[in-house]
Amino acid sequence: MSGASHPTKFGALWDAPHVHQELLWLTNARSQFRLRRTLARILSPRRIVATLLAGVFLVAYVMYGVLVLSNRAPASPDHLRAWLSGGMVLYAFYHAVRCVWTETVVDLEMTPAERLWLGGGPLHRSSLATYRITNIVSATAIKTLLLTIVIARDVQHVELLILGVFCSLLLLDTVRQILVRVASGLSDLNRRRAKVVSVVMATAVALQVIAKVTAMTPMGSPTWLYLIHMFYAVGELAQSVVIQAVAFAWIPMASLAVTTSYSVWTPIAMVCVAMTVLFAVRVLVWADHGALMQSQRQEQSLLRELDRSGRNCAATDPTQTHRSLDVDVLWGYPRLRTTAALLARQYRSVLRYRGTILASFVIPTLLCLSPLVTNQVIEQWFYVVSGVALCTMLLAPPALRLDFRRDLLRMQLLKSLPVKPLSMVLGQLTLPIFITWIFQCVTLAIAACVVQPGWSQWLMWTLLMAAFAVFTFAVENALFLVYPHHAHQQGLGMMLRAKLTFLGKAGVIAASLAMLVLWSAVCKSILPDGLHAIGFVSGAIAASWCIAAMSVLATAICWRRFDLSFDLPPQ
């Protein structure tokens, strides 16, 4: 390969053009195979429900864009330009904070098969980086299509909008991978410093949003007005001078997307956009090279320390822990023996990622308690409970991926264990649910001390939220076992899955509230006056826990029916 490549100024090596052509052929071949597999799975009787839901969602989304969004008043080009560029920066900042607080090292988000056959082949890292970028083009095109449907009413030239949005999203994903590689190469000291900086920056952003909301909202206003003004505050933050200064890389793309008419500056903007994307790919190669060098230096330092101390490698690995869960009590009960080892494994994972887990729940707790600053007592308790429910359903599952969703590559091992399906499910879900319970209890206890809604309200909502957590994690894992996917998988299927899951969760919350209102009316009509509250609380708690138990049993059935030969997605 030395004759077919040349070193750059920064030490990275680039392969010959024919190597990139072969990688493009590989990407095309894999895309065709995945398309055929997706079509086969869509037509499979086991996937008929998902196929129907996906089709209904696509039709409804397109019809909504044509019939509703096309009739609204168009936004101003300046506002749309600032929103496109500033929104990308805020999203990149979110990924930066997430990368700093994530301990997992991700090597260009390659699958084990790619790391084996490409990472071990005669290819330079620059080729792997560009190969990774080409693999996200199709997913970026799908995102562009969905976003174009929403904002097509606001522009004059849809073709320029598609080009600008596509390049913006492609640059955003490239920047995200740059942040991942930079964070993976940080030393322990630099990572701690980066965490401090991220906390300071996140606090500054939050204070600025709070200040804008306070300035826009009169004192004593209803809580829903604060929520609406919070979205306006985030939009104003995206248009601020500081954010726009950081968004200099996205400004040519946003300007191209909102162009009102073709001029001599249009091709110049296209050239700037192309150069920006190419430069971002080059920066990704540099960041990957730097991360590899830093990892190599850390390994050499670890080996030198090992030689000096004479201790084994496990004792010097800062990512390892020697604390273990005391499972002697569990081994004393025959029915719990099969879950004891799984609980110990989950406990080790919780200890390793305790900092990330704690940081993931600090902001949701503060957001749930934010309605306490208003003067409406009834609204305070209602919005706190609603916030806890939303965080339980939307934020807790991604933050606590300690169950089946992280074990896709270990499914064969888990299937070979002499563990019954129900015991396996309980062992996988117990600790994530328990951590969610702690978040719920702390948040509701603080709110109850301030609002004082009464013992019946506190007891009912605490137990209801606990059952809701069990239901949420059970359904998340059941859906994963029925429709498994890789951690960083992208494409139309993943996008439809995310949209349908979000809509399904919103439907579950709405249906739950409707059932509670209906049950309250039934209790008032058939029970005496003194038994209204007792009947309502006890019935709601019993029904919710029955549904939670049924969801756990459904997850156990999904695990029992999981087929390694059919359900495992290709790498």
SS (H, E, C) 13-74: EECCHHHHHHHHHHHHHHHHHHHHHHHHHHCCHHHHHHHHHHHHHHHHHHHHHHHCHHHCCC
In a shared domain, residues 273 and 352: no
Residue 413 lies in a domain: yes
Cα separation, 394 vs 476, whole angstroms: 11
Residue 170 near residue 277 (C-beta atoms within 8 A) = yes
Residue 274 lies in a domain: yes
Find the DSSP H helices in 353-491: 354-369, 377-390, 396-399, 411-416, 421-451, 455-482
Residue 87 lies in a domain: yes
Residue 300 lies in a domain: no
Q: Is 255 exposed, middle or buried (0-12, 13-18, 19+ CB in 10 A)?
A: buried
Phi, psi of 14 (to 5 degrees): -115, 135
Phi, psi of 239 (to 5 degrees): -95, 5
Residue 307 lies in a domain: no
In a shared domain, residues 370 and 508: yes
In a shared domain, residues 345 and 271: no
In a shared domain, residues 81 and 56: no
Residue 67 lies in a domain: yes
In a shared domain, residues 339 and 442: yes
Q: Answer whether 0.85 is exceeded by the pTM.
A: no
The two three-digit tokens of residue 503, written as one number: 């809509």
The residue among 237, 271, 291 that closes a domain is 291
Cα separation, 397 vs 89, whole angstroms: 25
Low-confidence stretches of the chain (pLDDT < 50) are 1-12, 313-327, 329-331
The residue among 48, 72, 96 that closes a domain is 72
In a shared domain, residues 339 and 355: yes
Closest CA to 31 of 180, 109, 134, 152: 134
In a shared domain, residues 468 and 541: yes
In a shared domain, residues 221 and 272: yes
Specify the pLDDT at position 488: 63
Specify the pLDDT at position 490: 62
The two three-digit tokens of residue 52, written as one number: 């129907």
The residue among 72, 105, 139 that closes a domain is 72
- Please count the other Cβ atoms lying within 10 Å of the Cβ belonging to residue 496: 19
Q: How far apart are the first and last CA of the chain?
A: 27
Task: Quickly tell me which residue has 């083009």 as its tokens.
Answer: 137
Structural domain total, the chain: 3
In a shared domain, residues 334 and 225: no
Residue 553 near residue 537 (C-beta atoms within 8 A) = no
Specify the pLDDT at position 338: 66
Query: What separation in angstroms does the CA of 268 have from each of 19, 82, 155, 273, 422?
Result: 31, 20, 19, 9, 62
Residue 202 near residue 98 (C-beta atoms within 8 A) = no
In a shared domain, residues 107 and 174: yes
Give the range of the structural domain holding residue 220, as residue numbers without chain letter.
Answer: 76-291
In a shared domain, residues 249 and 332: no
Specify the pLDDT at position 279: 92
Reported for 51-57, long-range contacts at CB under 8 A and 24+ positions apart, including other chains, are 53/500, 54/496, 54/500, 57/496, 57/499, 57/500, 57/503
Residue 8 lies in a domain: no
Cα separation, 82 vs 234, whole angstroms: 12
Residue 302 lies in a domain: no
In a shared domain, residues 276 and 414: no
